[in-house]
A and B are shown apart, each in its own frame.
Chain A
């Protein structure tokens, strides 16, 4: 059984140590980011893959004929 609380504490310590080191870096710019020309992607039309549906249903944990079953809040 993995102890999530222990892991969280471990991670917090590691990240705290990392940030201490990163804060020592000189020359860090205040602004960071990049701009894009378009915020939407181009739609690419492609032929339908005949095997896709069969493989998707094989992968589904719960199904009923033509439906993949997912209970609300069950995940």
Chain B
């Protein structure tokens, strides 16, 4: 997979140019149907030729020659960063996001910008102003969102690694539905500078890939403090790709997640896989209560609505784009109107502050759990993803967010690994660790991957 490909690129058994050209061919063949990409980088082949020279001279970076797809809410200079919205339809990024600067420094090649739910407001992959994304693994079911294009691009072999963003599950949900690996880093692990925000209290940029090594490598590259993101932490970035085999850990499972998992087949699969993992790694499974986690959705949405309303005031059509209220879709407008209502002076304390207090309780629940267990393993989705065309009402959205949102509220690190297939659609498993324990997360994910392949 990625490690083997990097070796071949280093030895020039394949060239970066060949790698990029082969992905461009796949994109040309499949994108009309899958609609994973909104923009393909016309300069990618030329950039690959430059990287090949660097490889020949022994001066290439960690990502040399790899094709990286980027979600359309992350600024890549000169490329459209339209957030899948008519509001920013003709807007090209004027600078590189911190994560993009780092990828370019390591000679990763940005192959294109991927589709998403408009302004990251959704979990289905069907609310883009430029058409829905199709799930390559199961065409009649939603791919998940909001990083739908990134998940689909990886699943359809249109790129090596993709970047998404996760505010309430937007990397993990498409990773599960499309049968790929996805990681939401700890809040503050990766700089958000250059990410067009949905909710500043929760947003994180993270990788999606077909294997754990690829995601771990990308995390090594993009993690770290930034002077341009005040909440990014000055903590050392470990070598996530130097995997340790996991043995004799304490695995927490939550009875509250069991109650929230509506389709019992999903819970059964998750339970059996977790038991097998525990047996093979000589680990113990311990039940841990997360007392307030059933209020996660109710705490999450008021915060998101208020912060999104605040973050969208800049889209007034003056310096760029169009006025958002006159050009956006229904879900985006809903969040703006909701945020505007809740931000009014007469409601102060009722919504936002109450939600923040419950967020704090949920964070404490996880902290308390992690005093006694090393990792928490849970399902990702409470039911198999809806069929394309089924109306995604607010109730459906909240229901599907219930198992991923808690990790964002707690600010912890959470990844999705492959589970099994139910009704022809992939269903993943979610592994969560304490904040800034990404090394542990990748070790567990790699061990899981190795034991299940």
**In the complex, which residues of chain B have a beta carbon less than 8 angstroms from the beta carbon of A61?**
317, 320-322
Task: Say how far B319's CB is from chain A's closest CB, in angstroms.
Answer: 6
- Assess whether A39 is interfacial by the CB under 8 Å rule: no
Contact call B77/A10, Cβ cutoff below 8 A: no
A15 interface neighbour in B295, B302, B356, Cβ under 8 Å: B302
**In the complex, which residues of chain B have a beta carbon less than 8 angstroms from the beta carbon of A42?**
227
Interface size class on chain B is 35 or more
A75 interface neighbour in B316, B330, B351, B353, Cβ under 8 Å: B316
**In the complex, which residues of chain B have a beta carbon less than 8 angstroms from the beta carbon of A55?**
77-78, 92-94
With A15-B302, A22-B299, A56-B94 in contact, is A10–B354 under 8 Å at CB?
Answer: no
Total contacting residues, chain A, CB less than 8 A: 35
A18 to B401, CA, bound (A): 15
Task: Say how far A61's CB is from chain B's closest CB, in angstroms.
Answer: 7
A2 to B328, CA, bound (A): 10
Contact call B302/A49, Cβ cutoff below 8 A: no
**In the complex, which residues of chain A have a beta carbon less than 8 angstroms from the beta carbon of B92?**
55, 58-59
A41 interface neighbour in B230, B302, B318, Cβ under 8 Å: B230
**In the complex, which residues of chain B have a beta carbon less than 8 angstroms from the beta carbon of A23?**
354
Contact call B361/A19, Cβ cutoff below 8 A: no
Contact call A7/B330, Cβ cutoff below 8 A: yes
Contact call A22/B358, Cβ cutoff below 8 A: yes
Interface contacts (Cβ under 8 Å), in number, total 105
A68 interface neighbour in B95, B319, B329, B357, Cβ under 8 Å: B319
With A21-B295, A61-B320, A68-B319 in contact, is A52–B357 under 8 Å at CB?
Answer: no
With A61-B320, A75-B317 in contact, is A8–B295 under 8 Å at CB?
Answer: no
**In the complex, which residues of chain B have a beta carbon less than 8 angstroms from the beta carbon of A22?**
295, 298-299, 354-355, 358
- Assess whether B7 is interfacial by the CB under 8 Å rule: no
- Assess whether B338 is interfacial by the CB under 8 Å rule: yes
A18 to B342, CA, bound (A): 12
Closest to A11 in B: B338
Contact flags B368-388 to A (C-beta < 8 A → 1, else 0): 000000000000000000000
B394 interface neighbour in A10, A19, A32, A75, Cβ under 8 Å: A10
Task: Say how far B327's CB is from chain A's closest CB, in angstroms.
Answer: 11
With A10-B394, A11-B337, A75-B317 in contact, is A52–B94 under 8 Å at CB?
Answer: yes
- Assess whether B91 is interfacial by the CB under 8 Å rule: yes
Closest to B94 in A: A55
Contact call A8/B357, Cβ cutoff below 8 A: no
A58 to B79, CA, bound (A): 12
**In the complex, which residues of chain A have a beta carbon less than 8 angstroms from the beta carbon of B323?**
75
Task: Say how far B228's CB is from chain A's closest CB, in angstroms.
Answer: 8
A25 to B305, CA, bound (A): 21
A34 to B355, CA, bound (A): 16
Contact flags B327-347 to A (C-beta < 8 A → 1, else 0): 001100110011001100000
Chain A residues packing against B (C-beta within 8 Å): 2, 4, 7-8, 10-12, 14-15, 18-19, 21-25, 27-29, 32, 41-42, 44, 49, 51-52, 55-56, 58-61, 68, 70, 75
| 19 interchain pairs, CB-CB under 8 A | A10-B334, A11-B341, A14-B338, A18-B302, A21-B298, A22-B299, A24-B295, A28-B357, A28-B361, A32-B357, A42-B227, A44-B227, A44-B228, A49-B94, A51-B94, A52-B95, A55-B92, A58-B92, A59-B320
Given A32-B356, A44-B228, A52-B95: 16 more A-B contacts, CB < 8 Å: A7-B337, A15-B342, A19-B302, A22-B354, A25-B295, A27-B361, A29-B360, A32-B360, A41-B230, A55-B92, A58-B92, A59-B319, A60-B320, A61-B317, A61-B320, A68-B318
